[in-house]
């Protein structure tokens, strides 16, 4: 018996993330959907800006590979987003005024979101995920769950062009502050991208010039 306990202890020490994930995955059906929806609405209405660090893990399941990156994230109502990757390389994605701007090292490229269906859908997914503003969004079918720490909104895309890229988006809300703690983009097959937010700051003024870059 002692030996079994030792193995469990060793396993927990060696593979702590799998234990944490097991805890995260133990989601059950939401007992009070109306309460959750109301909390999301209240939180969405009260949130003007979000600034946060993020860590991204791209899991290629079949290849047993995890590609990690990290950076800083800024959101400003209604539809302004900055994803600024600092590791492993300098790369920034900006969504602002209907434009999708990519800064890759010293190169800057700008795309009109409306003119490119793929950028339009990616933008929709990004903003929906990080803002948590998915209620009444006809592009997704939502299922709600919860465990001790999180509410989970599981969004299943309706549009075929989005289904081609993603099978579902899992948005995890921290029950303590009802803010988005992490987002999981699941692809057809078993691959997924997990983005975890940390050091979040809410409703601090964000000047508009953070959404512009120069060549």
Partner 1 sequence: MKLRNGIYFPWALLFVGMLTITSSCSYKHYKGFEPVVAENVSPPRLFDTAFSKVVYTTNFRVFNQELSGLTLVKKVKSTNSFHIVFMSQIGLKFFDIEIKPNETEDWFHVNFIMESLNREFIVSTLKTDFMLLFSKYPEHAETGIFRNTENEITETTVRFDKYISSIFTDRNNKITGIELRKGRSVKTSIHITPGKEYPKELDIHNKKGGMNLTWKEIRM
Q: Which residues bind partner 1 (CB under 8 A)?
A: 56, 58, 60, 63, 65, 67-69, 83, 85, 88-89, 91, 93, 102, 104, 109, 117-118, 122, 126, 161, 164-166, 185, 187-189, 191, 193
Residues contacting residue 161 through CB under 8 Å, at least 6 positions apart: 117, 118, 121
The distance of closest approach from Cβ of residue 46 to partner 1 in the complex, given in angstroms and rounded to an integer, is: 27
Taking the least distance from each CB to partner 1, the nearer of 27 and 111 is 111
The distance of closest approach from Cβ of residue 215 to partner 1 in the complex, given in angstroms and rounded to an integer, is: 16
The tokens describing 186, both together, are 């699941």
The tokens describing 141, both together, are 């079918």
The distance of closest approach from Cβ of residue 43 to partner 1 in the complex, given in angstroms and rounded to an integer, is: 24
Torsion, Cα 205 112 102 190, to 10 degrees, reads 100
The distance of closest approach from Cβ of residue 89 to partner 1 in the complex, given in angstroms and rounded to an integer, is: 6
Taking the least distance from each CB to partner 1, the nearer of 64 and 204 is 64
Taking the least distance from each CB to partner 1, the nearer of 105 and 199 is 105
Distance CA 137, CA 112 (A): 22
Q: Are 68 and 56 in contact (CB under 8 A)?
A: yes
Distance CA 36, CA 99 (A): 33
Torsion, Cα 20 144 51 176, to 10 degrees, reads -70
The distance of closest approach from Cβ of residue 31 to partner 1 in the complex, given in angstroms and rounded to an integer, is: 32
- Residue 178 three-state SS: coil
Taking the least distance from each CB to partner 1, the nearer of 80 and 151 is 80
- The string of DSSP letters for 137-177 reads -TTEEEEEEE-SSEEEEEEEE-SHHHHTT-SEEEEEEETTT
Taking the least distance from each CB to partner 1, the nearer of 84 and 147 is 84
Q: Are 16 and 8 in contact (CB under 8 A)?
A: no
- Residue 87 three-state SS: strand
The distance of closest approach from Cβ of residue 108 to partner 1 in the complex, given in angstroms and rounded to an integer, is: 12
Taking the least distance from each CB to partner 1, the nearer of 40 and 128 is 128
């Amino acid at each position: 018996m002692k030996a079994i306990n030792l193995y469990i202890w060793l396993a927990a020490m060696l593979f702590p993330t799998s234990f944490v994930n097991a805890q995260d995955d133990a989601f059950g059906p939401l007992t009070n959907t109306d309460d959750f929806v109301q909390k999301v609405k209240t939180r969405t209405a009260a949130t003007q800006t979000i600034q946060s660090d993020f860590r991204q893990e791209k899991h290629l399941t079949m290849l047993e590979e995890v590609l990690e990156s990290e950076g800083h994230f800024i959101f400003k109502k209604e539809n302004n987003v900055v994803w600024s990757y600092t590791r492993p390389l300098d790369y920034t994605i900006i969504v602002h005024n209907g434009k999708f701007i990519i800064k890759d090292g010293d190169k800057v490229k700008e795309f009109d979101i409306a003119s490119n269906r793929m950028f339009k859908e990616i933008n929709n997914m990004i903003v929906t995920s990080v803002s948590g503003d998915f209620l009444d969004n006809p592009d997704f079918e939502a299922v709600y769950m919860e465990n001790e720490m999180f509410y989970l909104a599981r969004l299943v895309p309706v549009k075929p062009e989005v289904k081609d890229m993603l099978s579902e988006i899992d948005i995890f809300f921290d029950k303590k502050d009802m803010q988005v703690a992490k987002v999981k983009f699941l692809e057809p097959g078993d691959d997924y991208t997990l983005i975890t937010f940390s050091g979040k700051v809410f409703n601090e003024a964000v000047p508009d010039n953070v959404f512009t870059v120069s060549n």
